[in-house]
Amino acid sequence: MKKQFIAGNWKMNLTLEEARGLARKLCDGLAGFDAVDVGVFPSFVYLKDVCDIFSDSNVFVGAQNMSMEQCGAFTGEVSGAMLRDIGCTHVIIGHSERRTIYQETNSMINSKLKASLLNNLNPILCVGERQEERDADKTREVVEDQLSGGLLNLTSEEVKGLTIAYEPVWAIGTGKTATPEQANEVHAFIRNTMRSKYDDDTAQSIRIQYGGSVNAGNAKELLGQPEIDGALVGGASLDPNSFLDIVSDAASFS
């Protein structure tokens, strides 16, 4: 089995003091621990403080979004080089909230993925269908389209070691989780799609996280599925005890 990867997407939450406090608790709780890869994704404005807190730890720190551009007159944007400069190693790209609220297209996501790789950041590419798409039996079609568009012109070298997060939109922040079987089925589809786009080696090197209402009560069952290599956790990642419980559940499968 692959080393699991548990990531906490803090979204637009917390004060600076709360973000620092959460980071310190996680840093203490995870000292010397490396059975599972762990990453946290605070708001841009807290990244530097959080990077500093985790600077001597195994915990990755990343951004929730980045610019597709390198530098220049792009007011309000944050570049990959800037993220790298303050100590980030990872970045979430194509989260469904970016796709739906901020109209990010597959083509924009593709440009952002390329910009992240150019700046030596490890992207987590998010994919997932909406409720109406699942109801219309279009899950595979939607996910396939997000993968094809998002990964356009990326070589197997570039996608090797990539993290993909399968986050069904209907499960995000709703308390409605995909069943472990439902999630595993889409994960297997993602793995197969990567195998046919690239090759078996590349497909096997990719970690596929599940995201959508993951919490300390349901993580173990989800993470125990053969195609689930970790979790992208929203709400439950704001509580250090819940997040650490999820990490220790993952450790039993690494």
Give a three-class secondary structure readout of the chain.
CCCCEEEEECCCCCCHHHHHHHHHHHHHHCCCCCCCEEEEECCHHHHHHHHHHCCCCCCEEEECCCCCCCCCCCCCCCCHHHHHHCCCCEEEECCHHHHHHCCCCHHHHHHHHHHHHHCCCEEEEEECCCHHHHHCCCHHHHHHHHHHHHCCCCCHHHHCCCEEEECCHHHCCCCCCCCHHHHHHHHHHHHHHHHHHCCHHHHHHCEEEEECCCCCCCHHHHHCCCCCCEEEECHHHHCHHHHHHHHHHHHCCC
Window contacting ligand 13P (CB under 6 A); options: 21-29, 166-174, 219-227, 242-250: 166-174
The active-site residue out of 95, 129, 133, 187 is 95
Least CB distance to ligand 13P at residue 207 (A): 15
104 interacts with ligand 13P by CB under 6 A = no
Q: Is 223 in the site for ligand 13P (CB under 6 A)?
A: no
Complex with ligand 13P: residue 126 or 194, whichever CB lies closer: 126
Q: How many residues bind ligand 13P (CB under 6 A)?
A: 14
| 146 touches ligand 13P by CB under 6 A | no
39 binding ligand 13P? (CB under 6 A): no
Question: Any catalytic annotation for residue 167?
Answer: yes
Q: Does 62 bind ligand 13P (CB under 6 A)?
A: no
Q: Which of 129, 133, 167, 187 is catalytic?
A: 167
Q: Does 217 bind ligand 13P (CB under 6 A)?
A: no
Q: Cβ closer to ligand 13P: 65 or 213?
A: 213
Q: Which of 28, 161, 173, 226 binds ligand 13P (CB under 6 A)?
A: 173
Task: Compute the least distance from the CB of residue 8 to ligand 13P, in Å.
Answer: 8
Q: How far apart are CA 11 and CA 41, in angstroms?
A: 8
Q: Is 69 annotated in the active site? A: no
Binding status of residue 242 toward ligand 13P by CB under 6 A:
no
Residues with catalytic roles: 95, 167
